[in-house]
Structure 1
Protein backbone atom coordinates (compact mmCIF):
# COMPACT_ATOMS: atom_id res chain seq x y z
CA UNK A 1 0.00 0.00 0.00
CA UNK A 2 1.38 3.40 -0.97
CA UNK A 3 -0.01 6.64 0.45
CA UNK A 4 0.44 9.83 -1.55
CA UNK A 5 0.38 13.33 -0.11
CA UNK A 6 -0.06 16.44 -2.22
CA UNK A 7 0.92 19.29 0.04
CA UNK A 8 3.31 19.23 2.99
CA UNK A 9 2.25 22.45 4.67
CA UNK A 10 1.16 22.68 8.30
CA UNK A 11 -1.61 20.07 8.31
CA UNK A 12 -0.13 17.89 5.60
CA UNK A 13 3.09 17.60 7.56
CA UNK A 14 1.16 17.01 10.78
CA UNK A 15 -0.70 14.11 9.18
CA UNK A 16 2.40 12.58 7.62
CA UNK A 17 4.44 12.77 10.81
CA UNK A 18 1.59 11.49 12.99
CA UNK A 19 1.12 8.41 10.82
CA UNK A 20 4.84 7.70 10.90
CA UNK A 21 5.09 8.33 14.65
CA UNK A 22 2.18 5.99 15.33
CA UNK A 23 3.93 3.20 13.43
CA UNK A 24 0.85 2.71 11.28
CA UNK A 25 2.56 3.80 8.06
CA UNK A 26 6.24 3.40 7.25
CA UNK A 27 8.09 6.23 5.50
CA UNK A 28 8.80 3.81 2.64
CA UNK A 29 5.03 3.54 2.10
CA UNK A 30 4.72 7.28 1.46
CA UNK A 31 5.31 9.48 -1.56
CA UNK A 32 4.93 13.24 -1.15
CA UNK A 33 4.99 16.36 -3.23
CA UNK A 34 4.76 20.06 -2.51
CA UNK A 35 4.67 23.27 -4.52
CA UNK A 36 7.90 24.24 -2.74
CA UNK A 37 9.90 21.07 -3.24
CA UNK A 38 12.38 21.93 -0.48
CA UNK A 39 9.64 21.42 2.13
CA UNK A 40 8.92 17.94 0.83
CA UNK A 41 12.63 17.18 0.74
CA UNK A 42 12.95 18.19 4.41
CA UNK A 43 10.54 15.40 5.28
CA UNK A 44 12.44 12.92 3.14
CA UNK A 45 15.68 13.91 4.86
CA UNK A 46 14.10 13.46 8.28
CA UNK A 47 12.38 10.15 7.50
CA UNK A 48 14.60 7.89 5.40
CA UNK A 49 12.61 5.87 2.91
CA UNK A 50 10.01 8.55 2.29
CA UNK A 51 10.04 9.51 -1.38
CA UNK A 52 9.59 12.91 -2.99
CA UNK A 53 7.69 12.77 -6.27
CA UNK A 54 8.81 14.75 -9.29
CA UNK A 55 5.32 16.26 -9.51
CA UNK A 56 1.72 15.75 -8.43
CA UNK A 57 1.00 13.36 -11.28
CA UNK A 58 3.73 10.97 -10.22
CA UNK A 59 2.49 11.04 -6.60
CA UNK A 60 -0.99 10.12 -7.78
CA UNK A 61 0.17 7.50 -10.24
CA UNK A 62 2.09 5.61 -7.55
CA UNK A 63 -0.55 5.84 -4.78
CA UNK A 64 -3.40 3.61 -3.72
CA UNK A 65 -4.74 6.27 -1.35
CA UNK A 66 -3.84 9.92 -1.80
CA UNK A 67 -4.42 12.95 0.41
CA UNK A 68 -5.09 16.42 -0.92
CA UNK A 69 -3.52 18.60 1.77
CA UNK A 70 -3.81 21.91 -0.04
CA UNK A 71 -5.52 25.27 0.40
CA UNK A 72 -8.97 25.83 -1.11
CA UNK A 73 -7.63 28.23 -3.71
CA UNK A 74 -5.16 25.65 -5.02
CA UNK A 75 -7.69 22.93 -5.81
CA UNK A 76 -8.54 24.02 -9.35
CA UNK A 77 -4.89 24.00 -10.40
CA UNK A 78 -4.16 20.65 -8.76
CA UNK A 79 -7.29 18.93 -10.04
CA UNK A 80 -6.57 20.18 -13.55
CA UNK A 81 -3.14 18.61 -13.30
CA UNK A 82 -4.10 15.21 -11.87
CA UNK A 83 -7.64 14.47 -13.08
CA UNK A 84 -6.60 12.38 -16.09
CA UNK A 85 -4.25 10.14 -14.08
CA UNK A 86 -6.62 9.39 -11.20
CA UNK A 87 -8.04 5.86 -11.34
CA UNK A 88 -11.29 4.29 -10.19
CA UNK A 89 -9.44 1.90 -7.88
CA UNK A 90 -7.95 4.75 -5.82
CA UNK A 91 -9.21 6.57 -2.74
CA UNK A 92 -8.94 10.37 -2.75
CA UNK A 93 -9.05 12.09 0.64
CA UNK A 94 -9.38 15.84 1.04
CA UNK A 95 -8.39 17.36 4.37
CA UNK A 96 -9.67 20.77 3.21
CA UNK A 97 -13.13 21.41 4.63
CA UNK A 98 -14.60 23.86 2.04
CA UNK A 99 -14.10 21.38 -0.82
CA UNK A 100 -17.27 19.37 -1.28
CA UNK A 101 -17.16 15.63 -1.92
CA UNK A 102 -19.65 16.02 -4.79
CA UNK A 103 -17.23 18.36 -6.54
CA UNK A 104 -14.33 15.96 -6.04
CA UNK A 105 -16.37 13.14 -7.53
CA UNK A 106 -17.22 15.26 -10.58
CA UNK A 107 -13.54 15.86 -11.23
CA UNK A 108 -11.98 12.56 -10.17
CA UNK A 109 -12.76 8.94 -10.93
CA UNK A 110 -11.52 7.88 -7.50
CA UNK A 111 -13.68 7.06 -4.52
CA UNK A 112 -13.63 10.18 -2.33
CA UNK A 113 -13.78 11.10 1.34
CA UNK A 114 -13.17 14.15 3.45
CA UNK A 115 -11.19 13.69 6.66
CA UNK A 116 -10.30 16.72 8.75
CA UNK A 117 -7.34 16.18 11.10
CA UNK A 118 -6.40 18.16 14.20
CA UNK A 119 -3.12 19.42 15.56
CA UNK A 120 -3.80 17.04 18.47
CA UNK A 121 -3.30 14.15 16.05
CA UNK A 122 0.41 14.97 16.09
CA UNK A 123 0.54 13.34 19.53
CA UNK A 124 -1.91 10.62 18.47
CA UNK A 125 -4.80 12.22 20.31
CA UNK A 126 -7.88 14.29 19.61
CA UNK A 127 -10.50 13.64 16.96
CA UNK A 128 -10.41 13.36 13.20
CA UNK A 129 -13.62 14.18 11.34
CA UNK A 130 -14.66 11.55 8.83
CA UNK A 131 -17.06 12.41 5.99
CA UNK A 132 -17.35 9.33 3.73
CA UNK A 133 -18.29 9.83 0.11
CA UNK A 134 -21.06 7.74 -1.49
CA UNK A 135 -18.62 5.81 -3.69
CA UNK A 136 -16.69 4.42 -0.72
CA UNK A 137 -17.14 0.71 -0.13
CA UNK A 138 -17.48 -0.73 3.35
CA UNK A 139 -13.91 -1.98 3.01
CA UNK A 140 -12.75 1.55 2.10
CA UNK A 141 -14.44 2.95 5.19
CA UNK A 142 -12.85 0.36 7.44
CA UNK A 143 -9.44 1.01 5.89
CA UNK A 144 -9.61 4.77 6.45
CA UNK A 145 -11.12 4.36 9.91
CA UNK A 146 -8.36 1.97 10.92
CA UNK A 147 -5.72 4.34 9.53
CA UNK A 148 -6.96 7.36 11.47
CA UNK A 149 -7.67 5.35 14.61
CA UNK A 150 -3.90 5.04 14.96
CA UNK A 151 -3.55 8.80 15.43
CA UNK A 152 -6.93 9.94 16.72
CA UNK A 153 -10.45 9.04 17.70
CA UNK A 154 -12.29 9.27 14.36
CA UNK A 155 -15.87 10.46 14.38
CA UNK A 156 -18.25 10.27 11.43
CA UNK A 157 -20.07 13.53 10.72
CA UNK A 158 -22.42 14.85 8.07
CA UNK A 159 -20.73 17.08 5.53
CA UNK A 160 -23.11 19.89 6.51
CA UNK A 161 -21.61 19.77 10.02
CA UNK A 162 -18.00 20.01 8.86
CA UNK A 163 -17.49 23.64 9.85
CA UNK A 164 -18.90 23.53 13.35
CA UNK A 165 -17.24 20.18 14.07
CA UNK A 166 -13.95 21.62 12.84
CA UNK A 167 -14.38 24.61 15.15
CA UNK A 168 -14.60 22.24 18.09
CA UNK A 169 -12.07 19.57 17.11
CA UNK A 170 -9.52 21.25 14.86
CA UNK A 171 -9.60 25.01 15.45
CA UNK A 172 -10.39 25.22 19.15
CA UNK A 173 -6.87 24.18 20.30
CA UNK A 174 -5.70 27.57 19.02
CA UNK A 175 -8.62 29.36 20.67
CA UNK A 176 -8.10 27.60 23.99
CA UNK A 177 -4.35 28.21 23.85
CA UNK A 178 -5.07 31.91 23.29
CA UNK A 179 -7.36 32.04 26.34
CA UNK A 180 -4.80 30.23 28.47
CA UNK A 181 -2.08 32.66 27.41
CA UNK A 182 -4.32 35.61 28.25
CA UNK A 183 -5.03 34.12 31.69
CA UNK A 184 -1.31 33.71 32.37
CA UNK A 185 -0.57 37.22 31.10
CA UNK A 186 -3.23 38.70 33.38
CA UNK A 187 -1.78 36.85 36.35
CA UNK A 188 1.69 38.20 35.60
CA UNK A 189 0.41 41.73 35.02
CA UNK A 190 -1.68 41.90 38.19
CA UNK A 191 0.84 40.26 40.55
CA UNK A 192 4.57 39.68 40.96
CA UNK A 193 4.36 36.18 39.49
CA UNK A 194 6.87 35.78 36.63
CA UNK A 195 5.20 35.25 33.25
CA UNK A 196 7.23 32.08 32.66
CA UNK A 197 5.88 30.61 35.90
CA UNK A 198 2.31 31.59 35.01
CA UNK A 199 2.61 29.95 31.60
CA UNK A 200 4.07 26.79 33.13
CA UNK A 201 1.21 26.60 35.62
CA UNK A 202 -1.61 26.93 33.07
CA UNK A 203 0.12 24.57 30.67
CA UNK A 204 0.44 21.81 33.24
CA UNK A 205 -3.09 22.53 34.43
CA UNK A 206 -4.37 21.90 30.89
CA UNK A 207 -2.62 18.53 30.86
CA UNK A 208 -4.30 17.55 34.11
CA UNK A 209 -7.66 18.92 32.95
CA UNK A 210 -7.55 16.71 29.91
CA UNK A 211 -6.91 13.65 32.06
CA UNK A 212 -9.72 14.55 34.44
CA UNK A 213 -12.16 14.73 31.54
CA UNK A 214 -10.95 11.58 29.77
CA UNK A 215 -9.77 9.32 32.59
CA UNK A 216 -11.07 10.93 35.77
CA UNK A 217 -14.77 10.48 35.20
CA UNK A 218 -15.56 14.19 35.13
CA UNK A 219 -17.74 16.07 32.68
CA UNK A 220 -17.25 19.76 31.98
CA UNK A 221 -20.22 20.54 34.19
CA UNK A 222 -19.34 18.22 37.07
CA UNK A 223 -15.75 19.49 37.15
CA UNK A 224 -16.96 23.07 37.57
CA UNK A 225 -19.29 21.98 40.34
CA UNK A 226 -16.51 20.10 42.15
CA UNK A 227 -14.12 23.06 42.14
CA UNK A 228 -16.64 25.88 42.56
CA UNK A 229 -18.01 25.45 46.07
CA UNK A 230 -20.88 27.80 46.97
CA UNK A 231 -19.63 31.18 48.13
CA UNK A 232 -16.03 30.38 47.16
CA UNK A 233 -13.57 32.23 44.98
CA UNK A 234 -14.05 29.91 41.99
CA UNK A 235 -17.82 30.47 41.99
CA UNK A 236 -17.27 34.24 42.01
CA UNK A 237 -14.87 33.87 39.10
CA UNK A 238 -17.29 31.73 37.12
CA UNK A 239 -20.04 34.29 37.68
CA UNK A 240 -17.76 37.02 36.31
CA UNK A 241 -16.88 34.92 33.25
CA UNK A 242 -20.54 34.16 32.62
CA UNK A 243 -21.32 37.87 32.72
CA UNK A 244 -18.37 39.20 30.72
CA UNK A 245 -17.89 36.52 28.06
CA UNK A 246 -21.55 36.68 27.09
CA UNK A 247 -22.16 35.73 23.45
CA UNK A 248 -18.52 35.91 22.32
CA UNK A 249 -18.43 32.24 21.34
CA UNK A 250 -21.68 32.57 19.42
CA UNK A 251 -20.05 35.41 17.50
CA UNK A 252 -17.01 33.24 16.95
CA UNK A 253 -19.08 30.41 15.46
CA UNK A 254 -20.95 32.84 13.21
CA UNK A 255 -17.64 34.33 12.05
CA UNK A 256 -16.09 30.96 11.16
CA UNK A 257 -19.26 29.89 9.35
CA UNK A 258 -19.35 33.09 7.30
CA UNK A 259 -15.75 32.57 6.22
CA UNK A 260 -16.49 28.92 5.46
CA UNK A 261 -19.48 29.73 3.26
CA UNK A 262 -17.39 32.29 1.38
CA UNK A 263 -14.61 29.73 0.86
CA UNK A 264 -17.11 27.14 -0.42
CA UNK A 265 -18.51 29.60 -2.95
CA UNK A 266 -15.05 30.58 -4.19
CA UNK A 267 -13.99 26.92 -4.57
CA UNK A 268 -17.18 25.97 -6.38
CA UNK A 269 -16.88 28.93 -8.75
CA UNK A 270 -13.33 27.89 -9.62
CA UNK A 271 -14.33 24.25 -10.20
CA UNK A 272 -17.63 24.88 -11.95
CA UNK A 273 -16.09 26.11 -15.19
CA UNK A 274 -14.77 22.70 -16.20
CA UNK A 275 -17.79 20.83 -14.85
CA UNK A 276 -20.10 22.87 -17.08
CA UNK A 277 -18.05 22.27 -20.24
Structure 2
Protein backbone atom coordinates (compact mmCIF):
# COMPACT_ATOMS: atom_id res chain seq x y z
CA UNK A 1 0.00 0.00 0.00
CA UNK A 2 1.35 3.46 -0.90
CA UNK A 3 1.30 6.43 1.43
CA UNK A 4 -0.79 9.55 0.72
CA UNK A 5 0.90 12.64 -0.68
CA UNK A 6 2.24 14.95 2.00
CA UNK A 7 0.70 18.45 2.00
CA UNK A 8 3.97 20.01 3.19
CA UNK A 9 6.99 19.41 5.41
CA UNK A 10 6.76 16.43 7.78
CA UNK A 11 8.91 16.65 10.90
CA UNK A 12 9.78 13.62 13.01
CA UNK A 13 10.81 14.85 16.45
CA UNK A 14 12.88 11.92 17.65
CA UNK A 15 13.50 8.76 15.66
CA UNK A 16 14.02 5.86 18.04
CA UNK A 17 12.93 2.26 17.60
CA UNK A 18 9.23 2.90 17.03
CA UNK A 19 9.44 6.08 14.95
CA UNK A 20 12.33 4.54 13.04
CA UNK A 21 10.26 1.45 12.19
CA UNK A 22 7.42 3.67 10.97
CA UNK A 23 9.75 5.79 8.87
CA UNK A 24 11.37 2.71 7.33
CA UNK A 25 7.98 1.45 6.18
CA UNK A 26 6.88 4.86 4.88
CA UNK A 27 10.07 5.14 2.85
CA UNK A 28 9.51 1.65 1.45
CA UNK A 29 5.99 2.60 0.33
CA UNK A 30 7.04 5.77 -1.46
CA UNK A 31 6.71 8.69 0.94
CA UNK A 32 8.25 11.93 -0.36
CA UNK A 33 11.71 11.85 1.22
CA UNK A 34 12.46 15.47 0.40
CA UNK A 35 9.58 16.60 2.61
CA UNK A 36 10.74 14.69 5.68
CA UNK A 37 12.98 16.16 8.36
CA UNK A 38 14.18 14.15 11.34
CA UNK A 39 15.10 16.23 14.38
CA UNK A 40 17.37 14.32 16.75
CA UNK A 41 20.15 15.49 19.10
CA UNK A 42 22.65 12.98 17.70
CA UNK A 43 22.24 14.15 14.11
CA UNK A 44 22.77 10.53 13.05
CA UNK A 45 21.56 9.84 9.49
CA UNK A 46 18.48 7.69 8.94
CA UNK A 47 18.19 7.15 5.17
CA UNK A 48 19.32 8.58 1.84
CA UNK A 49 17.41 11.69 0.90
CA UNK A 50 16.02 12.34 4.40
CA UNK A 51 17.22 15.51 6.08
CA UNK A 52 18.44 15.08 9.66
CA UNK A 53 19.07 18.12 11.87
CA UNK A 54 19.84 18.67 15.54
CA UNK A 55 17.57 21.71 15.96
CA UNK A 56 14.23 22.86 14.60
CA UNK A 57 14.48 24.26 11.05
CA UNK A 58 13.94 27.98 10.71
CA UNK A 59 13.10 27.89 7.00
CA UNK A 60 9.65 26.30 7.18
CA UNK A 61 6.52 25.62 9.18
CA UNK A 62 5.66 21.91 9.20
CA UNK A 63 2.40 20.59 7.81
CA UNK A 64 2.76 17.52 10.03
CA UNK A 65 4.79 16.80 13.14
CA UNK A 66 5.17 13.42 14.82
CA UNK A 67 6.38 13.34 18.41
CA UNK A 68 8.55 10.25 18.72
CA UNK A 69 10.75 11.03 21.71
CA UNK A 70 10.57 9.31 25.07
CA UNK A 71 7.44 10.53 26.93
CA UNK A 72 9.49 11.99 29.78
CA UNK A 73 11.15 14.41 27.34
CA UNK A 74 7.94 16.17 26.36
CA UNK A 75 8.59 19.14 28.63
CA UNK A 76 11.99 19.66 27.04
CA UNK A 77 10.49 19.49 23.54
CA UNK A 78 7.29 21.52 23.93
CA UNK A 79 8.68 24.99 24.82
CA UNK A 80 10.84 25.05 21.70
CA UNK A 81 8.49 23.30 19.27
CA UNK A 82 5.09 24.76 20.24
CA UNK A 83 5.79 28.36 19.06
CA UNK A 84 6.73 27.09 15.59
CA UNK A 85 3.46 25.28 14.91
CA UNK A 86 0.48 26.99 13.35
CA UNK A 87 -3.23 26.20 13.39
CA UNK A 88 -3.01 24.01 10.27
CA UNK A 89 -0.15 21.87 11.55
CA UNK A 90 -1.27 18.30 12.23
CA UNK A 91 0.40 17.07 15.40
CA UNK A 92 0.72 13.29 15.85
CA UNK A 93 1.88 11.90 19.17
CA UNK A 94 3.11 8.33 19.67
CA UNK A 95 4.07 9.11 23.27
CA UNK A 96 2.65 6.45 25.58
CA UNK A 97 0.72 7.69 28.60
CA UNK A 98 0.41 11.35 27.52
CA UNK A 99 -3.27 12.30 27.38
CA UNK A 100 -4.75 14.50 24.69
CA UNK A 101 -5.51 17.21 27.25
CA UNK A 102 -1.84 17.26 28.28
CA UNK A 103 -0.79 17.57 24.66
CA UNK A 104 -3.21 20.45 24.08
CA UNK A 105 -1.92 22.19 27.21
CA UNK A 106 1.60 22.15 25.74
CA UNK A 107 0.67 22.64 22.07
CA UNK A 108 -2.33 25.00 22.09
CA UNK A 109 -2.14 26.19 18.47
CA UNK A 110 -2.68 23.15 16.20
CA UNK A 111 -6.33 22.49 15.45
CA UNK A 112 -5.73 18.76 14.94
CA UNK A 113 -3.83 16.64 17.43
CA UNK A 114 -3.95 12.87 16.97
CA UNK A 115 -2.75 10.29 19.45
CA UNK A 116 -1.38 7.21 17.70
CA UNK A 117 -0.19 3.98 19.28
CA UNK A 118 1.61 1.84 16.68
CA UNK A 119 3.68 -1.28 17.17
CA UNK A 120 7.01 -2.39 15.76
CA UNK A 121 5.65 -4.84 13.12
CA UNK A 122 4.76 -1.60 11.29
CA UNK A 123 8.27 -1.95 9.87
CA UNK A 124 6.96 -4.83 7.72
CA UNK A 125 3.54 -3.33 7.00
CA UNK A 126 2.10 -5.81 9.51
CA UNK A 127 1.58 -3.37 12.35
CA UNK A 128 -1.45 -2.25 14.32
CA UNK A 129 -1.94 1.47 14.93
CA UNK A 130 -4.65 2.74 17.28
CA UNK A 131 -5.83 6.33 16.83
CA UNK A 132 -7.67 8.82 19.03
CA UNK A 133 -8.46 12.47 18.40
CA UNK A 134 -10.98 15.15 19.26
CA UNK A 135 -10.49 16.87 15.90
CA UNK A 136 -13.42 17.34 13.53
CA UNK A 137 -11.19 18.08 10.53
CA UNK A 138 -12.07 15.19 8.25
CA UNK A 139 -9.30 15.94 5.76
CA UNK A 140 -6.61 15.98 8.45
CA UNK A 141 -7.89 12.76 10.03
CA UNK A 142 -8.05 11.03 6.65
CA UNK A 143 -4.44 12.02 5.97
CA UNK A 144 -3.26 10.56 9.28
CA UNK A 145 -5.30 7.40 8.75
CA UNK A 146 -3.77 7.04 5.29
CA UNK A 147 -0.25 7.33 6.67
CA UNK A 148 -0.97 4.75 9.35
CA UNK A 149 -2.73 2.39 6.94
CA UNK A 150 0.59 2.03 5.10
CA UNK A 151 1.91 0.46 8.32
CA UNK A 152 -0.84 -2.18 8.62
CA UNK A 153 -4.17 -2.29 10.45
CA UNK A 154 -5.68 0.97 11.78
CA UNK A 155 -8.18 1.03 14.63
CA UNK A 156 -9.97 4.29 15.49
CA UNK A 157 -11.25 5.01 19.02
CA UNK A 158 -13.71 7.60 20.27
CA UNK A 159 -12.93 6.85 23.93
CA UNK A 160 -9.46 7.73 25.20
CA UNK A 161 -9.63 5.18 28.02
CA UNK A 162 -10.31 2.38 25.53
CA UNK A 163 -7.54 3.72 23.28
CA UNK A 164 -5.18 3.44 26.24
CA UNK A 165 -6.15 -0.19 26.93
CA UNK A 166 -5.82 -1.09 23.24
CA UNK A 167 -2.36 0.47 23.27
CA UNK A 168 -1.26 -1.94 25.98
CA UNK A 169 -2.72 -4.92 24.11
CA UNK A 170 -1.42 -4.21 20.60
CA UNK A 171 1.29 -1.63 21.23
CA UNK A 172 3.12 -3.51 23.97
CA UNK A 173 1.79 -6.89 22.85
CA UNK A 174 4.68 -7.71 20.49
CA UNK A 175 7.11 -7.56 23.42
CA UNK A 176 4.92 -10.00 25.37
CA UNK A 177 4.75 -12.32 22.36
CA UNK A 178 8.51 -12.16 21.87
CA UNK A 179 8.92 -13.28 25.48
CA UNK A 180 6.56 -16.20 24.78
CA UNK A 181 8.59 -17.20 21.71
CA UNK A 182 11.74 -17.14 23.80
CA UNK A 183 10.06 -19.25 26.48
CA UNK A 184 8.93 -21.82 23.90
CA UNK A 185 12.44 -22.03 22.47
CA UNK A 186 14.00 -22.30 25.93
CA UNK A 187 11.60 -25.11 26.78
CA UNK A 188 12.53 -26.98 23.63
CA UNK A 189 16.20 -26.52 24.41
CA UNK A 190 15.69 -27.87 27.92
CA UNK A 191 14.12 -31.00 26.43
CA UNK A 192 17.09 -31.61 24.14
CA UNK A 193 16.89 -29.44 21.02
CA UNK A 194 19.81 -27.20 20.12
CA UNK A 195 19.34 -23.52 20.92
CA UNK A 196 19.38 -22.49 17.25
CA UNK A 197 16.98 -25.22 16.19
CA UNK A 198 14.53 -24.50 19.02
CA UNK A 199 14.59 -20.80 18.15
CA UNK A 200 13.95 -21.44 14.46
CA UNK A 201 11.08 -23.79 15.17
CA UNK A 202 9.44 -21.44 17.69
CA UNK A 203 9.58 -18.42 15.36
CA UNK A 204 8.35 -20.34 12.32
CA UNK A 205 5.53 -21.90 14.32
CA UNK A 206 4.33 -18.55 15.68
CA UNK A 207 4.45 -16.97 12.23
CA UNK A 208 2.35 -19.74 10.71
CA UNK A 209 -0.10 -19.98 13.60
CA UNK A 210 -0.67 -16.20 13.63
CA UNK A 211 -1.33 -16.23 9.88
CA UNK A 212 -3.81 -19.08 10.29
CA UNK A 213 -5.60 -17.34 13.18
CA UNK A 214 -5.91 -14.18 11.09
CA UNK A 215 -7.28 -16.02 8.05
CA UNK A 216 -9.80 -18.35 9.72
CA UNK A 217 -13.34 -17.47 10.74
CA UNK A 218 -13.13 -19.65 13.87
CA UNK A 219 -11.94 -18.18 17.15
CA UNK A 220 -8.40 -18.94 18.37
CA UNK A 221 -9.99 -21.06 21.12
CA UNK A 222 -11.70 -23.22 18.51
CA UNK A 223 -8.49 -23.50 16.49
CA UNK A 224 -6.66 -24.66 19.61
CA UNK A 225 -9.27 -27.34 20.23
CA UNK A 226 -8.99 -28.49 16.61
CA UNK A 227 -5.27 -29.13 17.10
CA UNK A 228 -5.78 -30.98 20.38
CA UNK A 229 -6.93 -34.59 20.08
CA UNK A 230 -8.52 -36.06 23.22
CA UNK A 231 -5.83 -37.75 25.28
CA UNK A 232 -3.05 -36.50 22.96
CA UNK A 233 0.14 -34.56 23.47
CA UNK A 234 -1.36 -31.14 22.61
CA UNK A 235 -4.23 -31.65 25.05
CA UNK A 236 -1.75 -32.57 27.79
CA UNK A 237 0.07 -29.27 27.24
CA UNK A 238 -3.15 -27.24 27.03
CA UNK A 239 -4.26 -28.73 30.33
CA UNK A 240 -1.24 -27.08 31.97
CA UNK A 241 -2.02 -23.67 30.42
CA UNK A 242 -5.73 -23.99 31.22
CA UNK A 243 -5.41 -25.21 34.80
CA UNK A 244 -7.17 -22.71 37.08
CA UNK A 245 -7.11 -20.21 34.19
CA UNK A 246 -3.34 -19.87 34.66
CA UNK A 247 -2.50 -18.37 31.27
CA UNK A 248 -5.46 -15.99 31.21
CA UNK A 249 -4.66 -14.80 34.72
CA UNK A 250 -1.04 -14.19 33.79
CA UNK A 251 -2.01 -12.16 30.71
CA UNK A 252 -4.56 -10.13 32.71
CA UNK A 253 -1.86 -9.25 35.26
CA UNK A 254 0.52 -8.36 32.45
CA UNK A 255 -1.95 -6.03 30.75
CA UNK A 256 -3.06 -4.52 34.05
CA UNK A 257 0.54 -3.72 34.98
CA UNK A 258 0.93 -1.86 31.69
CA UNK A 259 -2.36 -0.02 32.19
CA UNK A 260 -1.37 1.08 35.70
CA UNK A 261 1.92 2.44 34.44
CA UNK A 262 0.13 4.28 31.63
CA UNK A 263 -2.19 5.91 34.17
CA UNK A 264 0.81 6.91 36.29
CA UNK A 265 2.49 8.50 33.27
CA UNK A 266 -0.70 10.38 32.42
CA UNK A 267 -0.89 11.71 35.99
CA UNK A 268 2.75 12.78 35.88
CA UNK A 269 2.17 14.63 32.58
CA UNK A 270 -0.94 16.36 33.96
CA UNK A 271 1.04 17.53 36.97
CA UNK A 272 3.85 19.08 34.94
CA UNK A 273 1.49 20.80 32.48
CA UNK A 274 -0.59 22.56 35.15
Query: Do the two structures share a fold, i.e. TM-score over 0.5?
Result: yes
**Greater percentage in helix:** 1
Which residue does 2:84 correspond to in 1? 85
Residues in 1 aligned to 2:205 and 2:39: alpha-carbon distance in whole angstroms: 39
Structure 2 alignment gaps of length 5 or more: 1-7
Which residue does 1:16 correspond to in 2? 23
Which residue does 2:33 correspond to in 1? 27
Residues in 2 aligned to 1:180 and 1:3: alpha-carbon distance in whole angstroms: 36
**Between 256-265 and 99-108, the greater mean CA deviation after superposition:** 99-108
Which residue does 2:104 correspond to in 1? 105
1:181-200 superposed Cα distances (whole Å, 9 cap, x missing partner) = 11111111122x21111111
C-alpha deviation, 1:37, in angstroms: 2.0
C-alpha deviation, 1:76, in angstroms: 1.0
Residues in 2 aligned to 1:258 and 1:228: alpha-carbon distance in whole angstroms: 36
1:19-58 matches, cutoff 5 A: 19-23=26-30, 25-38=31-44, 42-43=45-46, 47-56=47-56, 58=58
- Checking the alignment, whether the CA contact within 8 Å between 1:65 and 1:93 is kept in structure 2 is yes
C-alpha deviation, 1:218, in angstroms: 4.2
C-alpha deviation, 1:58, in angstroms: 4.1
Which residue does 1:76 correspond to in 2? 75
1:141-166 superposed Cα distances (whole Å, 9 cap, x missing partner) = 11111111111111012211233212
| 2:88 aligned counterpart, secondary structure | coil
Which residue does 2:3 correspond to in 1? none
Which residue does 2:125 correspond to in 1? 124
- Checking the alignment, whether the CA contact within 8 Å between 1:163 and 1:256 is kept in structure 2 is no
- Checking the alignment, whether the CA contact within 8 Å between 2:22 and 2:122 is kept in structure 1 is yes
Residues in 2 aligned to 1:11 and 1:58: alpha-carbon distance in whole angstroms: 26
Which residue does 2:262 correspond to in 1? 260
Matched, 1:223 2:223: yes
- Checking the alignment, whether the CA contact within 8 Å between 1:57 and 1:81 is kept in structure 2 is no
Residues in 1 aligned to 2:58 and 2:147: alpha-carbon distance in whole angstroms: 23
Residues in 2 aligned to 1:271 and 1:14: alpha-carbon distance in whole angstroms: 29
- Checking the alignment, whether the CA contact within 8 Å between 2:121 and 2:127 is kept in structure 1 is yes
- Checking the alignment, whether the CA contact within 8 Å between 1:112 and 1:136 is kept in structure 2 is no
- Checking the alignment, whether the CA contact within 8 Å between 1:65 and 1:90 is kept in structure 2 is yes
Which residue does 1:186 correspond to in 2? 187
Residues in 2 aligned to 1:163 and 1:262: alpha-carbon distance in whole angstroms: 12
Which residue does 1:202 correspond to in 2? 202
| 2:27 aligned counterpart, secondary structure | helix
| 1:56 aligned counterpart, secondary structure | coil
C-alpha deviation, 1:222, in angstroms: 2.0
Structure 1 alignment gaps of length 5 or more: 273-277
Residues in 1 aligned to 2:43 and 2:54: alpha-carbon distance in whole angstroms: 9
| 2:172 aligned counterpart, secondary structure | helix
Residues in 2 aligned to 1:82 and 1:202: alpha-carbon distance in whole angstroms: 45
Residues in 2 aligned to 1:107 and 1:136: alpha-carbon distance in whole angstroms: 20
Residues in 1 aligned to 2:166 and 2:92: alpha-carbon distance in whole angstroms: 18
Question: Taking structure 1 as reference, are residues 107 and 136 closer, same or farther at Cα in structure 2, changes over 3 Å only?
Answer: farther
TM-score by length of 1: 0.89
- Checking the alignment, whether the CA contact within 8 Å between 2:131 and 2:163 is kept in structure 1 is no
| 1:49 aligned counterpart, secondary structure | coil
- Checking the alignment, whether the CA contact within 8 Å between 1:57 and 1:85 is kept in structure 2 is no
Which residue does 1:152 correspond to in 2? 152
| 1:80 aligned counterpart, secondary structure | helix
Residues in 2 aligned to 1:188 and 1:160: alpha-carbon distance in whole angstroms: 41
